[in-house]
Amino acid sequence: MFLKFKPLLKTTLWGGDKIIPFKHLQSNEQQVGESWEISGVEGSETIVCGGPYDGRKLNDVLAEMKERLVGEDNYRRLGNEFPLLIKFIDARQNLSIQVHPNDEIAQKHGKGRGKTEMWYIMDSAPDAKLYCGLRQTITPAQYEEMVNNDTITDALAQYIVKKGDVFFLPAGRIHSIGPGCFLVEIQQTSDVTYRIYDYKRKDKDGNYRQLHTREAAESIDYHVERDYRTDYVARRNQGVALVQCPHFCTALYDLDEPMTLDYSELDSFVILICLDGNGSLTDDEGNTVSFQTGDTILVPAATNIIQVEGTVKFLETYA
């Protein structure tokens, strides 16, 4: 069985115009900054489109299928909470400078879970940029001073990005998506964001958006790394590991010949995110689904084998 979901489109101050055509949608919505592809976040749950669970929320399906959907270990740890949130993000303007807490800090502040995430860059503008991590050592006191005097971006590592770039953002890594970026975001199921700096922009009502300077100071990892971009070598017709962390494992596939994906030893659901091309997926019970650019498909943990046909490039991720 395969589960497809109706995308949950989010209009934002900084949203662009790439998501609607990328996903082949008939919509007149403007400034769509995010498409939540698979989400169990309360109030923003995605709804199954087609098949035996058509019209039902992801969390309702999980409550019925339990470990058959997410795997025994995931269900034992998280119960009826789906582990991952998948988004497409299209930025026409700078997003705020922000950071996410880890689980411990989030729970201390009454939040259910922190947020570790990753980005895979898609077909972005030639001059698209983003911030990821600190480029110089600063103290919490220096951080607050730089926020107050509008110089915090001076302390951040900035990257001009291209299609295929990958960034891993463990909880605590300060970051911001810049104008022209179009990307896939894979993250823990959490909507906890501490906004550090917002370029003194006002919302549609003329108000400054809330900042969380002190909460962020507690959450930031002040360690400086040489390079925050993930290094990998793309290969045709085999899986290439991109990120492996306690919350998710993600690989890239670029296929122009049939491939069998064997999940018989994996105790988890699998999510397949189509970046380019088209083809089909067939499971070990003979169920077949089309797979094209912009599609995101949830494969239940009870599935053992998938046959992929077509010329298609996709991400595979699981908990």
Task: Name the 3-class secondary structure at 244.
Answer: strand
CA distance 261 to 304: 8
Separation of alpha carbons 288 and 306, rounded Å: 9
- The pLDDT assigned to 129 comes to 97
pLDDT band at residue 208 using 50, 70 and 90 as cut-offs: confident
Cα gap 268→300, rounded to integer Å: 8
Question: Buried b vs exposed e over 172-200: b needs ≥16 C-beta within 10 Å?
Answer: bbbbbbbbbbbbbbbbbbbbbebbbbbee
In this structure, what are the phi and psi dihedrals at residue 88, rounded to the nearest 5 degrees?
-100, 135
pLDDT, residue 200, reads: 84
For 203, phi and psi rounded to 5 degrees? -80, -175
The yes-or-no verdict on residue 176 having pLDDT over 80 is: yes
Task: Report the length, in residues, of the chain.
Answer: 319
* Joined tokens for residue 69: 């959907």
Question: Whole-angstrom Cα distance, residue 122 to residue 212?
Answer: 30
Average confidence (pLDDT) over 37-57: 97
The whole-number pLDDT of residue 202 equals 77
Say yes or no to pLDDT of 204 above 80. no
For 108-125, what is each residue's pLDDT tens digit?
Answer: 888 888 999 999 999 999
- Look at residue 209 in the predicted model and tell me its pLDDT: 84
**Minimal CA–CA distance to 266: which of 304, 308, 315?**
304
Residue 31 has pLDDT above 80, yes or no: yes
| Alpha-carbon gap, residue 48 to 231, rounded angstroms | 35
How far apart CA 178 and CA 171 sit, in angstroms, is 19
Q: Which pLDDT band holds residue 213 (cuts at 50, 70, 90)?
A: confident
What pLDDT is recorded for position 110? 87
Q: Which ranges of 153-241 would DSSP assign to H, the alpha helix?
A: 213-219
Core vs surface per residue 126-142: b (16+ CB within 10 A) or e: eebbbbbbbbeebeeee
The reported pLDDT for the residue numbered 118 is: 98
Neighbours of 10 (CB within 10 A): 17
pLDDT on residue 266: 98
Is the pLDDT assigned to residue 96 strictly greater than 90?
yes
Residues 155, 195: Cα–Cα separation, whole Å = 16
pLDDT score at 112: 81
Q: pLDDT at position 180, please? A: 98
Taking residues 188-203, what's their average pLDDT? 89
Residue at 192: amino acid letter: V
pLDDT the model gives residue 161: 98
pLDDT range class, residue 210, cuts 50, 70, 90? confident
17 contacts 90 by C-beta, under 8 angstroms = yes
